[in-house]
Structure 1
Amino acid sequence: MGEKRTLVVTAVPAERDAVTLAAGVAPEPFTLPGGLSLQRGPGLDAVSVGVGPAAAAAGTATVLALAQGRYDLVVSAGIGGGFAQVAEVGATVVSSALVAADLGANGPDGFLDVGELGFGAATFRPPAGLARAAADAVGGPLGPVLTVSTATGTAARAAELAARHPGAAAEGMEGHGVATAAVAHQLAVLEIRTVSNPVGPRERAAWRIPDALRALTDSFAALGPAFDLWREQTHG
């Protein structure tokens, strides 16, 4: 059905608007069934679907079911927390993996993720070349992005997650849900997070949300060539 586009999925409208602002032209708004608010710009559509993996999966699946083959790439995007020594505040993180970090079971031998329990995939991986090109384009770290249902608020929890997921770069609440829907539709998936705060104790006075939203705009302004190159290499 013509040239393929990128679907960018965010949690909240402020993140969606930061993405579409990168194009430098006013996006075309659409209201989809269920009240989802989608904005169409050059080369991509951006939609805000709500907070958390369940809302992310449901919203992404809804858009893709209505899309009739419009997309070949789905990107989970937004601001998030960065793990110390990997992603500082202000950095843009690109996912090497989208990981369900707290979906599973605790037991005497520790945490078992949903994959280890045999109930599905705990980790989804983007195309390696696309992820590397995207990280180069934004000048940020490439590493696992953890999806949680409860945002980390203590140093102990941050340390536990970092130990369980070596090299973890960022934490968000939607990536694995977006990936679950994208993979069900046999589409490539990627996650982009701009860091507004460290993962750890909740010190809201230190959060840099406006700066992270501006970084999200700057990142998507830089990502177009990486997406185009991946399409050329994938589709010929």
Structure 2
Amino acid sequence: MTDLLVVTAVPAEAEAVQAGLDGSTVVVVPVGVGPAVAGAATARLLAFAEAAGRPYRGVVSAGVAGGFADRVAVGDAVLGNRSVAADLGAESPEGFIPIDELGMPPELLGCGPTVPADAELLATLRTALPSATVGPVLTVNTVTGTAASTEALRRRHPDAVAEAMEGYGVAVAARHAGVPFVELRTISNPIGPRDRDAWRLGDALAALTTAAVALR
């Protein structure tokens, strides 16, 4: 059995993770942006490893994220205790309806809109990263960029700490493969009205390198 598989969205995140590994056997692969491509690519990597007789011990979805300002600060590390498909569902005059409340047969929902992190893997990383904030990480297809949409997310997910674009897709791939999963993020910007100039990607990537030491 090989070590962890760490998947990121973009090469810059993969490079930041690799910089903290110092020759570790952890495999780091940038798989693309968004839950669909990240999930498909992760499933392919897991299938190839299993077919080769060297299945991965666990999967980590890692990278930068936006954080809810009252929960985390820019540069903080976040561990997702569950990954949530925050916009998977339907709009209605009464508000957003999560997919598991639409009356579909359970067998059509697969993993459902929430995938919990593997308890043992999460506990190991919590021990290695005692200052990390632990909580739900939302997966969105459209990055939140207004005060109204930020407030809507807060109402639907009051305990969420961050949002990103890949975690849920990677979590579903790991769940179907029977491989432990967890999400690790570092915060580059507060969630809210879009202000690209205020993003501190350099700080978040440096924090990701520091946090990646825990993945050894």
Provide TM-score, normalisation by structure 2.
Answer: 0.90
Shift of 1:108: 2.8
> Is 1:9 equivalent to 2:7 in the alignment?
yes
State the distance in 1 between where 2:154 and 2:123 align. 22
Pairs aligned (count): 206
Match of 1:207 among 188, 199, 206: 199
State the distance in 1 between where 2:205 and 2:47 align. 29
State the distance in 2 between where 1:153 and 1:142 align. 23
Higher strand fraction (1 or 2)? 1
Shift of 1:55: 0.7
State the distance in 1 between where 2:152 and 2:190 align. 15
Name the counterpart of 1:18: 16
Name the counterpart of 2:36: 54
Q: Secondary structure at the match of 2:100?
A: coil
My pick for the range that moved more, 68-77 or 84-93, is 68-77
Match of 2:185 among 179, 183, 193: 193
State the distance in 1 between where 2:175 and 2:119 align. 15
My pick for the range that moved more, 108-117 or 46-55, is 108-117
> Is 1:125 equivalent to 2:101 in the alignment?
no
Name the counterpart of 2:208: 216
- Matched-pair contact (CA < 8 Å) for 1:132–1:142: no
Name the counterpart of 1:141: 133
Matches within 5 A, 1:1-236: 3-25=1-23, 42-68=24-50, 69-117=54-102, 118=104, 119-120=108-109, 121-138=112-129, 139-224=131-216
- Amino acid of the structure 1 residue aligned with 2:116: R
Q: Secondary structure at the match of 1:93?
A: strand
- Give the gaps of 5 or more residues in structure 2: none
Provide TM-score, normalisation by structure 1.
Answer: 0.83
State the distance in 1 between where 2:116 and 2:188 align. 24
- Give the gaps of 5 or more residues in structure 1: 26-41, 225-236
CA deviations 1:185-228 (Å, max 9, x no partner) are 0111100110000011111111110110111110011343xxxx
% identity of equivalent residues? 50
Q: Which runs of 4+ in 1 moved over 6 A?
A: none
- Matched-pair contact (CA < 8 Å) for 2:121–2:181: no
- Matched-pair contact (CA < 8 Å) for 2:121–2:180: no
- Amino acid of the structure 2 residue aligned with 1:13: P
State the distance in 2 between where 1:9 and 1:82 align. 20
CA deviations 1:139-189 (Å, max 9, x no partner) are 111000000000000111111111111210000000000011111101111
Shift of 1:136: 4.0
- Matched-pair contact (CA < 8 Å) for 1:93–1:135: no
Shift of 1:85: 1.2
Question: RCO greater where, 1 or 2, for CA within 8 Å and sep 6 or more?
Answer: 2
CA deviations 1:63-98 (Å, max 9, x no partner) are 111112420211101001001111111100000110
- Amino acid of the structure 2 residue aligned with 1:4: T
State the distance in 1 between where 2:215 and 2:39 align. 24
Shift of 1:114: 2.2
- Matched-pair contact (CA < 8 Å) for 1:8–1:77: yes
- Matched-pair contact (CA < 8 Å) for 2:4–2:60: yes
